[in-house]
Chain A
Amino acid sequence: METGKRNYYLEIADNAHILSHRLAENCSRGPFLEEDLACTNVALDLIGLAESVYNEIAKQLEGNISGDDVAYRRDEIDYRNCLLTEQPNDDFAHLMTRQFFMDTYHYYIFTELSVSSDTFLSALANKSLKEVTYHLKRSSEWMIRFGNGTKESSERAQAAINRLWRYTDELFTSDESYSDLIGTGVYPDQDKLKKSWMQKVDEVFFLAQLRKPENKGFQLHGGKSGRHSEHMGYILSEMQFLPNKYPDATW
């Protein structure tokens, strides 16, 4: 498998995987039972998405490697998820704001990928769009509810936005290993994605009476090239514990 392609695939898979891991941490901690179950549902959709991509990577890589090997047996520096996905749940406003940013991203990237000349990605995108559309509907409704609910909910949502905004620009950056295929019909144009993403965010923020932070230009990057936040090591040490400790075991 060619490096650029592998990296692009890994970004998609790791984003879904790490985000679902964070959502799964929330299981039995939701604000009420129905919402607890709904978050788990999204986590399940995202694991399924990650799993198909990991399996495809394993198939295309040389050697006897499984999708789980790709998912679990890499060093932190080889995980290519964006910093946003690994940010902690904190309160429900942080969880949902992170989700809203990622759902919007997934919605547009899969819309674009659904017509990609990469047949695996276009099939994946077409399969995932229905789920992702539903995720986006849910998280935008929560943002609007936060903003128009109580003073506290609106303040918490604004605090989450202020905190997480700095990780949003990274979604639209390209690793140089695949940048030559960006905008060619294989991988979508990042500027176009960013524009669609921003429009949707603006629209929802308007309805929610929420706003971008004052210093919206302050942005952090690194996840896509394996330079993560301090949170990532803890995520992986839990996630990889059994495969690391018992490398010969199957479960």
Chain B
Amino acid sequence: MKETLLDEATLLAEFEAKIDAEIKIEPRDWMPDAYRKHLIRQISQHAHSEVIGMQPEGNWITRAPSLRSKKILLAKIQDEGGHGLYLYSAAETLGVSRDQYIQWLHEGKAKYASVFNYPTLNWADIGAIGWLVDGAAITNQVSLQRTSYGPYSRAMVRICKEESFHQRQGYEIMWKMMEGTKDQQRMAQDAINRWWWPALMMFGPHDSDSAHTGNAMKWKIKRETNDRLREKFINKTVPQAELIGLKVPDANLKVSGTDSFGEPTYDHSDINWEEFWQVVNGNGPCNEQRLEHHVKAHQDGKWVRECAKAFQNNNDSINR
């Protein structure tokens, strides 16, 4: 018993040395249980977010106003599904199957990004999601490219390339609508009014209130704090809004100074944390709808998955 404990201490020291030296942890490497658990939670939550995120945008596929916009939207949603696939693969390297992850999602044991529990109510929401939601996601994911777990880090590198493309496409939709008719401008302003705060909430609670930040920073799973990332996003996005004539829905927003590049930094109101926790805990406008949609698709597809499996097995036994 003593010997195992000693081993464990040595292994932990080796693990921490690797983290300190910025050497990636790989699936076969020894890792502390809490590190594995944290990754299982974070990567699967990330994967589920990509997949659940297909729904609010998918809500406008059949109403996309032009062939070009329909193609862009379909391709974007397809990219998100692809991100889901990379991330499920990364999460599976931790010894849990995709089926199990999906089951946890359906049982309410796994979460996904709360932002997708808000509804898409007009076409500009497609622009606002790309610009603000993907924009917030990139800010977070750019720092995650340096995360300490190898498979997660590599998935992030691939994903970031596509996300910045989504962000530009989303901004283009907003920009075009602001150049357009009064009705279009009204839709665009309505969209930022509804998506601004949910986008800021994507960075999570204040670091002082975040249950997971401590260990995650120590093990370099997270590389920057929630609040720091949120500030970065605000500083980057406010000028973009102003450039096309959109008003950011925050009465207290004002320039507070400049950063080291001479770009403006901002003072702003605090997030409505009551709303934040309500949505996280299942009481957002679409929480039930999103989960039910996913459960239904999964149940409707059961016979197809069984068919594919049975066919594969039959073929394997013929070829044997």
* Residues of A that sit less than 8 Å from B by CB: 21, 24-25, 27-37, 40-41, 43-44, 47-48, 50-51, 54, 67-68, 71-72, 91-92, 144-146, 148-150, 152-153, 156, 235, 238-239, 241-243, 246, 248-251
Contact = CB atoms under 8 A, between A and B. Distances in A.
B104 to A, nearest CB: 16
B128 interface: no
A118 B88 CA distance: 48
A153 B75 CA distance: 30
Given A50-B67, A152-B306, A27 B181 contact: no
Contacts of A92: 300-301, 304
A239 B307 contact: no
Instruction: Bin the interface of chain B by size.
Output: 35 or more
A64 B154 CA distance: 49
Contact of B297 (A29, A37, A67, A72): A29
A149 B58 contact: no
B58 A28 contact: yes
Contacts of B297: 28-31
A150 B70 CA distance: 36
Contacts of A67: 67
Contacts of B51: 28, 33
Contact of B71 (A32, A44, A153, A250): A44
A239 B88 CA distance: 33
B136 to A, nearest CB: 21
A32 B54 CA distance: 13
Given A31-B305, A156-B303, A44 B183 contact: no
Nearest to B313: A149
B248 interface: no
Given A92-B301, A156-B303, A249-B180, A28 B293 contact: yes
B310 interface: yes
Contacts of A34: 85
The 4 closest A-B pairs by CB, nearest first: A31-B301, A149-B307, A153-B307, A31-B304
A120 to B, nearest CB: 18
Interface in B15-62: 51, 54-55, 58, 61-62
B62 A31 contact: no
Given A44-B71, A71-B67, A28 B62 contact: no
A21 B63 CA distance: 10
A25 B58 CA distance: 8
B311 interface: yes
Contacts of B303: 150, 152-153, 156
Interface in B56-103: 58, 61-71, 74-75, 77-78, 81-82, 84-85, 88
A170 B307 CA distance: 31
| Interface class of chain A by DSSP | helix
B144 to A, nearest CB: 21
Contacts of B81: 28, 33, 36-37, 40
Nearest to A24: B61
B308 interface: yes
Contacts of B180: 249-251
Given A148-B314, A246-B183, A251-B177, A28 B77 contact: yes
Contact of A251 (B58, B176, B308, B310): B176
B67 A51 contact: yes
Contacts of B62: 21, 24-25, 235, 238-239
A37 B300 contact: no
9 contacts: A25-B62, A28-B81, A29-B293, A29-B300, A31-B305, A37-B81, A242-B63, A251-B180, A251-B184
Interface string B154-194: 00000000000000000001001100110110000000000
A27 B70 CA distance: 12
B123 interface: yes
A40 B307 contact: no
A25 B61 contact: yes
A249 B300 contact: no
B70 A33 contact: no
B78 A33 contact: no
Nearest to B82: A37
**Residue from the set B68, B293, B304 with the largest chain A CB neighbour count within 10 Å:** B304
Contacts of B68: 51, 68
Given A148-B314, A153-B304, 7 more contacts: A25-B62, A28-B293, A33-B51, A34-B85, A72-B65, A249-B183, A250-B180
Given A27-B58, A251-B66, A152 B300 contact: no
A43 B74 contact: yes
Contacts of A44: 71, 74-75, 78
Interface string B285-312: 0000000010011001111111110110
A248 B185 CA distance: 13
A241 B70 CA distance: 13
A146 B307 contact: yes
Contacts of A150: 303, 306-307, 310
Contacts of A41: 78
A175 B5 CA distance: 83
Contact of A47 (B55, B67, B310, B314): B67
